[in-house]
Structure 1
Amino acid sequence: MTRNDRLTAILDLLAESGHVEVEDIVTRLAVSPATARRDLDSLAKQRLLSRTRGGATTGSVAYELPGRYNRDDHAEAKQQIALAASELIMPGAVIGLSGGTTNTALAQVLSTREDLNAPSNRPMLTVVTNAINIAAQLAVRPNIKIMVTGGILNPRSYELVGPYTDVIMQKVALDIAFIGVNGVDPKIGPTITDEGEAMVNTVMARRATDSYVLADSTKIGKRAFAAMAGYDFRRLITDSGITAEDKAAFEASGTEVIVAKDD
């Protein structure tokens, strides 16, 4: 396990109960107590947790997420997808992140990448997002430039939507957009439960040179209320739970399917 993988795993452990002990890290990650303490100290310096005697808590986190972010639904698959997506992002890139739990996992991975946090007089990554929880998550990273789109807040998802968001999005150019969805179907493509979010996702994807839909395999074949009209759906990143039949169906419709590696 690399150091970045360990840091991400520690934050996942912390998310389970709001606190973690050095002994938990030693047992769960098979590392020495000294390594566990160094990792906790590193995360504390990054303001991603608060150190306590013998462990750490989430006391430094300045916001609380809606229920769907607090549930650990398919967290392992989403982490695998996030790691696969992260490999596509080079230092200096300008990326778009829509809301959703998988993109939140991607933001966490990016926040612990050493190459994106190296000292620099210019941004090592620029992130355009309509999700205020993702913006808050990355705001403590001084070498990551954050642009929030503006708009009307959807309190169920922490995403900004509406005409103001669309106006801002029309003024940016992205290298890569990563789009979170509620369902994805080989015939009608990605779908979202909220029509406002679907519109923002479409605009974000169309402003990017390349765009990827991120969806764990439980969303394959499912359809939500709003389609991403006008979006040329060509790339999907999912986990190994996708069936051979579903993968073939996507590929037959012209969509490249990237299957994230299991840990």
Structure 2
Amino acid sequence: MKRHERMNALLELLGERGSMEVEEAATALEVSAATTRRDMDALAEQQLLTRTRGGAVLSAVTYDLPIRYKRGHHVGAKQSLARAAAAMVERGSVVGLSGGTTTTEIARALVTRADLAEPSPQPHLTIVTNALNIAYELAVRPQVKTVLTGGVAHSRTFELTGPYSELMLGEITVDIAFIGANGMDPRTGATVHDEAEGRINGLMARHAERAVVVTDSSKAGVRCFARIGGPELFDTFLTDSGLPGPMRRKFEEQGLPTVLAEPDPDEDGGR
């Protein structure tokens, strides 16, 4: 288990139990007590838990954990989506990425694609994003030119929104944009919970030669508060193979071509 996955698991255990001793957590996570202490100390520094004598308690935060500490649901499906999305990108392209757990996986899939990961004095790819966490991960990759939109940061999703983001996006063009969504309904189209994020996502899609809305099949049929757009904005709906056939036909009937990402054969149905 990688460190960030271990920390996610530790936070989830604390969320369930409220408090844990070091030995108890180490046994649950199947790691050493020394490793657990280091993880607890690191999370305490970021005020996500409070260290106690011999253990830790979850901090009384009133907001969702940031993306980097969330264990996303449907991880296998999102990784399948990321591989499929990365395959759509040509070397030398300008790629737009909105915020979210799925688009974060797409960023990771892109920078680890064999032909894009090769050392080079010049970037193989330009990625434009309004997500701080994505830019943070990409900034250390010299083979990728990373462009951050600017704007006001959302504490929960790490997305930048507002007039500065709009101004920057209004001055560029993108070859292909991958836009995440909290809901994807055949009639309403792609939606998110926050209207400011929805506006920026829509703007990024409008300035792309090809706009792809990407979300796992659990979001199909779901409608959230703020609409991003439907077939008038997006060229493709990329989702996983868990999408029911009748639901896929509804999207197709609305004029939105739907692509199903193939699950990894080593995963259980991509979930």
- Matched to 1:233, the amino acid is F
Equivalent residue number for residue 136 of structure 1: 136
| Alpha-carbon distance in 1 for matches of 2:199, 2:145 | 24
| Alpha-carbon distance in 1 for matches of 2:66, 2:132 | 15
Equivalent residue number for residue 162 of structure 1: 162
Equivalent residue number for residue 244 of structure 1: 245
| Alpha-carbon distance in 2 for matches of 1:249, 1:222 | 13
Kindly tell me: are residues 112 and 18 of structure 1, through their superposed partners in 2, closer, same or farther at Cα, counting changes over 3 Å? Answer: farther
1:15 counterpart = 2:15 = no
Does the residue aligned with 2:164 lie in a helix, a strand or coil? helix
Q: Residue 208 of structure 1: CA displacement?
A: 0.5
5+ residue gaps in structure 1?
Answer: 1-11, 20-56
5+ residue gaps in structure 2?
Answer: 9-38, 49-63, 265-271
Equivalent residue number for residue 124 of structure 1: 124
Does the residue aligned with 1:73 lie in a helix, a strand or coil? coil
Q: Residue 114 of structure 1: CA displacement?
A: 2.4
> Contact (CA 8 Å) 2:67, 2:158: kept in 1 or not?
no
- Taking the TM superposition and a 5 Å limit, the aligned residue runs for 1:184-263 are 184-228=184-228, 232-263=233-264
Structure 1 runs (4+) greater than 3 angstroms displaced:
12-15, 63-69
| Alpha-carbon distance in 2 for matches of 1:244, 1:14 | 38
| Alpha-carbon distance in 1 for matches of 2:85, 2:192 | 20
Q: Residue 108 of structure 1: CA displacement?
A: 1.3
Does the residue aligned with 1:228 lie in a helix, a strand or coil? strand
- Matched to 1:17, the amino acid is R
- Matched to 1:66, the amino acid is L
1:117-162 deviation digits (Å, cap 9, x = unpaired)? 2232321000000000000011111110000000011111100000
Does the residue aligned with 1:157 lie in a helix, a strand or coil? coil
1:62-117 deviation digits (Å, cap 9, x = unpaired)? x9993455123111110000100000011111000000110011111122222112
Q: Indicate the RMSD between aligned Cα atoms, in angstroms.
A: 3.0
> Contact (CA 8 Å) 2:189, 2:229: kept in 1 or not?
no
Equivalent residue number for residue 106 of structure 1: 106
Using structure 1 for the length normalisation, give the TM-score. Answer: 0.76
Does the residue aligned with 2:77 lie in a helix, a strand or coil? helix
Equivalent residue number for residue 87 of structure 2: 87
Does the residue aligned with 1:255 lie in a helix, a strand or coil? coil
> Contact (CA 8 Å) 2:205, 2:234: kept in 1 or not?
no
Equivalent residue number for residue 151 of structure 2: 151
Q: Residue 13 of structure 1: CA displacement?
A: 4.5
> Contact (CA 8 Å) 1:66, 1:158: kept in 2 or not?
no
Using structure 2 for the length normalisation, give the TM-score. Answer: 0.74
Does the residue aligned with 2:209 lie in a helix, a strand or coil? strand
Equivalent residue number for residue 23 of structure 1: none
| Alpha-carbon distance in 1 for matches of 2:106, 2:162 | 24
> Contact (CA 8 Å) 2:66, 2:155: kept in 1 or not?
no
Does the residue aligned with 1:222 lie in a helix, a strand or coil? coil
- Taking the TM superposition and a 5 Å limit, the aligned residue runs for 1:55-74 are 66-69=65-68, 70-74=70-74
